[in-house]
Amino acid sequence: MSSQLTGNQQAIRWHPPAYDIRVESVPIPKIEHPDDAIVKIKLAGLCGSDLHTYRGTEELTDALTCGHEFIGEVVALGESFHNGVTGRPDLYADLNIGDKVVSPFTVSCGECHFCRVGFTCRCVESRLFGTPTTPGGQAQYVRVPRAGGTLYNLRDIVGAAGTSQSEKEDVTKLADSSLLLLCDILPTGVFAAFQALNHPKTLPMMNSCPYPQSSSFARFALSSKVLGAEDVSLTFAIVGLGPVGLCACISLFDILTSRGADFRIVAIDPVEARREKMNAIISTIANKGPHLHSIAVASIDESKDIVEKWTNGLGCNAVLEVVGNTSALTLAYELVRPFGSISAVGVHSGNQIPFSGRQLYDKNVSFDFGRCPVRAMFPAALDILLRRQDVFGAVGGTASLVEKIVGFDEAADTYELFDKGKCGKVLFDPWK
Amino acid sequence: MSSQLTGNQQAIRWHPPAYDIRVESVPIPKIEHPDDAIVKIKLAGLCGSDLHTYRGTEELTDALTCGHEFIGEVVALGESFHNGVTGRPDLYADLNIGDKVVSPFTVSCGECHFCRVGFTCRCVESRLFGTPTTPGGQAQYVRVPRAGGTLYNLRDIVGAAGTSQSEKEDVTKLADSSLLLLCDILPTGVFAAFQALNHPKTLPMMNSCPYPQSSSFARFALSSKVLGAEDVSLTFAIVGLGPVGLCACISLFDILTSRGADFRIVAIDPVEARREKMNAIISTIANKGPHLHSIAVASIDESKDIVEKWTNGLGCNAVLEVVGNTSALTLAYELVRPFGSISAVGVHSGNQIPFSGRQLYDKNVSFDFGRCPVRAMFPAALDILLRRQDVFGAVGGTASLVEKIVGFDEAADTYELFDKGKCGKVLFDPWK
């Protein structure tokens, strides 16, 4: 057992019923289970889904420590990390005090069927940080359950076989504010793009091969007809340009340009400030290529006209829905073409899905709902993080994803501004 | 222009408001457009979706000629077939009077984006046979619009390069009652299976590779870890054992066994007679292999216990929903595991989808809704038809998909029995 820390720490705490954020002194967490790690927080993020708790929509009755995005350093480890049992996730043998780690926003054991298959957000022991059972990372220290399955050790990348020297150097150079984006919003954006690009209804355009031969198990294919340029031109929409929507757009753009695809993206948000941020990012990521005009930023009404014009009324091949409410889903349905797909990564509430079965049948629509399996998406997200440091690397620029880093003393004000849409992505430095 | 037929023919006609089927004398259809063909019907099928019209749920006000499944012989062709314009679908040059053809249940031009890409059921000129605008195939003759895109010429298979001599012989030996299944129900069953097997959430198990590296565009993969036997074991459910459900089950079984997959299927229907038919088919298709016990036939309540037991409570990897109503969707959701997919090919009504966004988010559920693109699925369906002649080849046996072939004089009685679930798949011979 490693040395336990004692004493108190500062933490950002939410109090019921709603809109009540306080910085309080609470005990430093201790190892409670052999699989636990204690992480000393370097930076913690404020995320859009923190607002579900903040606004009281979760109807919680007890105060809790907020936050599910954090990067830090391992300062204590449970017994499992010293006994090297074979067959357990690698980190149980590899993780050491002093290692720099990024955490997904959910706990994953790394050992159940879902974890092994890569569906890590549906681990049978899944727990969300910043909830009543699992104190969050907007604190100076956090306890990470099942840490050998949950944490992502940045040393793994730097030391991985097959990683080039320049890649290792690139990773070690990344700022904490950049790496923090790996906890949730960048992998979730990558996941939204990934689902859209890999859907069997998108594959004919990506593979230049007609359906169903475009998919893996069309072994009965009788032809290998190659599609013409007109048919493989892709149109996507992204509904919602909060931080995750921005990440989804950058990821989609990055993957499509790296494949040399012929594509257009309409990025949609009703809020002007968010559209301005998106425009600044586009100017940054597309300024040297032929793709500056491949992305249009639009209000809801404008988006319908743009898609109509771009596609001669066919609609989008796929829509990335990054909001999580009924009107976003409705817009996604309106924009998608027949035999299109909707990748819905927004955190949805209890409202009923706003479509009839007939609407979905008549348009052959597909949906992929749900939470990003961050732990499994880390490598993909890190790859994009490294290549898009122009957007992910800086803090506070017009084209930067992270707007500012503040101390805990600004926590209450920051929650309030963020809730009102008056600031973008903010990180907390618990030692500032 | 080929010779036009004149005079009257017999046709099965529906009259409003509901439940009124009459055999009437109506004019033989004529070529109305250069792209038309007139087909002399050999056999026409009665399909579950004919019942939407029969029961009056479509709220139609005029009588119409029923049916969207037919096989026959080309007896007249429009001018397009004689002028060999380049760039048009092959059949405009290849189709001849006397050719034996199968038709999908919808018209597809073969020339629009959707047709070229393989999404033929969403052709911009799509029309469903047996509706007010497009008289159906339960007649002695039928007019086929856009026939060069719509029809499937059986000579194409027999003459196709790459087709072995034995395959050619196999196709020419197929009975019309077997080929008729290619119009709708067999391709729709194959489509239901295909969507489930090719979904990115099923691919890890099919490819023995974790998500997301299991999909095409995970080029950022850092590992090529192979999954263990426990993780790649697949469990499927099929909700609804009408003729399409039976075809879906046979297709799923056929593809999985041919790949040597480790799988189990639970086939579910509340109607005992349908379960008996499914059991007879299983005995036939699985009697020589190790897979006799890979399929369980179950009532709704039994199915939940079976899936619970088989999967230790995880649920099915994918569910094929072949009914098209709210209770079938609800059962599919209950049976599917987190990160599972639902392939919904049932013809749904205007009822709202019975799920909240939160339910779908919390389980990472995917849905593929809609109509089968029969024209694009023909080769896959023909492949399975050839290999499963033990089920698809005969008429009237306990394990036969087709129950009987009757004359038009039995049309009204047959619709009534079929509507009440008192008979299975019935075909009409218009010349009997």
Query: H or E segment at B383?
Result: helix B374-387
Q: What is the pLDDT of residue B214?
A: 87
**Are residues B2 and B133 in contact, defined by beta-carbon separation less than 8 angstroms?**
no
Among candidate residues B67, B399, B395, B419, the one with its CA nearest the CA of residue B246 = B399
Is residue B155 within 8 A of residue B117, CB to CB? The reply is no
**SS in 3 state form for B146-201?**
CHHHHCEEHHHHHHCCCCCHHHHHHHHHCCHHHHHHHHCHHHHHHHHHHHHHHCCC
- Does B151 contact chain A (CB < 8 Å)? no
CB proximity B168 to A under 8 Å:
no
Tell me which CATH homologous superfamily contains domain A8-184+391-428: Medium-chain alcohol dehydrogenases, catalytic domain (3.90.180.10)
Nearest CB partner across the interface for B356, out of A352, A358, A364? A352
Q: Which CATH number is correct for B187-369, 3.10.129.10, 3.40.50.720, 3.40.50.10860, 3.40.50.1580? A: 3.40.50.720
Residue B217: per-residue pLDDT: 62
Residue B293 clears pLDDT 80, i.e. is over it? no
Residue whose C-alpha is closest to residue B36's, from B200, B147, B202, B168? B147
Q: Which residue has the higher pLDDT, B307 or B5?
A: B307
Lowest mean pLDDT among A93-102, A198-207, A285-294, B381-390: A285-294
Alpha-carbon torsion (A130, A133, A139, A143), positive or negative: negative
Closest-CA distance, A261 to chain B, in angstroms, reads 13
* pLDDT score for B349: 86
- Which of B421, B387, B431 lies closest to B186 in space, CA to CA? B387
- Which band of pLDDT confidence, cut at 50, 70 and 90, is reported for residue A224? low
Name the nearest CA neighbour of B412 among B138, B147, B205, B154. Answer: B138
Nearest to B220 by CA among A159, A386, A153: A386
What mean pLDDT, rounded, does chain A reach?
92
Q: Best interface-test mutation with B: which of A106, A119, A347 has the largest number of B CBs within 10 A?
A: A119
Residue A5 binned pLDDT confidence (cut-offs 50, 70, 90)? confident
Strand locations in A138-233 (E): 141-144, 152-153
A353 at B interface, C-beta within 8 A: yes
Give CB contacts under 8 A, 24+ apart, made by B270-275: B270/B299, B270/B300, B271/B241, B271/B421, B273/B421, B274/B241, B274/B242, B274/B245, B274/B421, B275/B241, B275/B299
- B73, pLDDT greater than 50: yes
How many CB atoms are closer than 10 A to CB B98? Answer: 9
- Residue bearing tokens 């898009």: A388
Q: What residues of B are in contact with residue A351 (Cβ under 8 Å)? A: 356-357
Asked if A205's CB is within 8 angstroms of B200's CB, the reply is: no
Please indicate if any CB of chain B lies within 8 Å of the CB of A227.
yes
| Residue-level pLDDT at A171 | 81
DSSP bridge pairs for A162: none
Q: Which residue has the higher pLDDT, A286 or A108?
A: A108
- Cβ atoms of B119 and A365 closer than 8 Å: no
Q: What is the DSSP letter of B393?
A: S
Residue B266 β-bridge partners = B237, B296
Closest CA to B317 of B196, B198, B194: B196
Q: Is A261 on the interface with B (CB under 8 A)?
A: no
Q: Does A1 score more than 60 pLDDT?
A: no
Residue tagged 């999404």 (tokens): B119
Distance in Å, alpha carbon of A349 to nearest chain B alpha carbon: 5
**Interchain CB distance below 8 Å, A222 and B117:** no
Residues sharing a CB contact under 8 Å with residue A401, sequence separation 6 or more, in sequence order? A181, A243, A246, A247, A281, A391, A392, A424, A425
Reported confidence tier of residue B46, pLDDT bands at 50, 70, 90: very high
Q: Do A383 and B220 touch (CB under 8 A)?
A: yes
Asked whether the beta carbons of B338 and A115 are under 8 A apart, the reply is no
Q: What is the pLDDT of residue B1?
A: 45
C-beta of residue A13 within 8 angstroms of C-beta of residue A22 = yes
Provide the mean pLDDT of chain B.
Answer: 92
Query: DSSP assignment of B183-247, as one string?
Result: GTHHHHHHHHHHHHHHSTTTHHHHHT--TTTTSTT-TT----PPPPHHHH-EEEEEE--SHHHHH
Q: Would the CB atoms of A210 and B353 count as touching at under 8 Å?
A: no
Res. B290: pLDDT tops 80: no
Q: For A47-107, where are the E strands, in sequence order?
A: 64-65, 69-77, 100-103
pLDDT band at A219 (very low <50, low <70, confident <90, very high): very low
Confidence band for A162, pLDDT divided at 50, 70 and 90: low
**Secondary structure element (H or E) that encloses residue B342, with its range:** strand B336-344
Burial state string for B79-91 with b = 16 or more CB within 10 A and e = fewer than 16: ebbeeeeeebbeb
Dihedral angle, C-alpha A282, A287, A289, A292, nearest 10 °: 50
What is the longest distance spanned by two Cα atoms in chain B? 71
Q: Residue A360 has what DSSP assignment?
A: H
Task: Report the complex ipTM.
Answer: 0.95
Q: Is residue A187 within 8 Å of A374, Cβ to Cβ?
A: yes
Nearest Cα to Cα of residue B331 among B315, B310, B347? B315
pLDDT tens per residue across span B228-274: 999 999 999 999 999 999 999 999 999 999 888 999 999 999 999 99
For chain A, the structural domain boundaries read 8-184+391-428, 187-369
* Alpha helices in A259-402, H assignment, sequence order: 272-285, 300-310, 326-335, 357-363, 374-387, 389-392
- pTM for this prediction: 0.95
Enumerate residues 6+ apart whose C-beta is below 8 A from B235. Answer: B263, B264, B265, B266, B307, B310, B311, B315, B316, B317
Interface test with A, best of B157, B198, B225, B257 (most A CBs within 10 A): B198
Q: Which of A234-238, B322-326, B421-425 has the lowest mean pLDDT?
A: B421-425
Share of chain B above pLDDT 90, in %: 80
Distance CA B39, CA B73 (A): 5
Q: Does the pLDDT value for residue A2 go beyond 60?
A: no
Q: Report whether pLDDT(B223) > 60.
A: no
Q: Of B225, B199, B192, which is closest to residue A198 (Cα–Cα)?
A: B199
Q: Which of A57, A39, A11 is nearest to A411 (CA)?
A: A11
* Cβ–Cβ contact B379 with A under 8 A: yes
Q: Could you tell me the two tokens for A241?
A: 């340009």
Helix (H, G, I), strand (E, B) or coil at A118: coil
Work out the pLDDT band at B5, boundaries 50, 70, 90.
Answer: confident
Q: Which amino acid is at A28?
A: I
Using pLDDT thresholds of 50, 70 and 90, give the confidence band for residue A173.
confident
Name the maximum alpha-carbon separation found in chain A: 71
Q: Which residues pair with A368 in a beta bridge?
A: A343, B366
CB A119 within 8 A of CB A199: no
Q: How far is residue B392 from each of residues B52, B182, B346, B364, measured CA to CA in Å? A: 25, 10, 21, 37
* Cα R_g (chain B), whole angstroms: 22
Whether B84 has a pLDDT exceeding 90, the answer reads no
Q: Which helix (H) or strand (E) covers residue B359, if one does?
A: helix B357-363
pLDDT-derived band at A83 (thresholds 50, 70, 90) equals confident
Total count of residues recorded for chain A: 432
Burial class (CB in 10 A: 0-12, 13-18, 19+), A165: exposed
Is pLDDT above 60 for A371?
yes
Q: pLDDT band at residue B33, thresholds of 50, 70 and 90?
A: very high
Check pLDDT > 60 for residue A13: yes
Q: Using the predicted structure, report yes or no on whether residue B420 has a pLDDT greater than 80.
A: yes
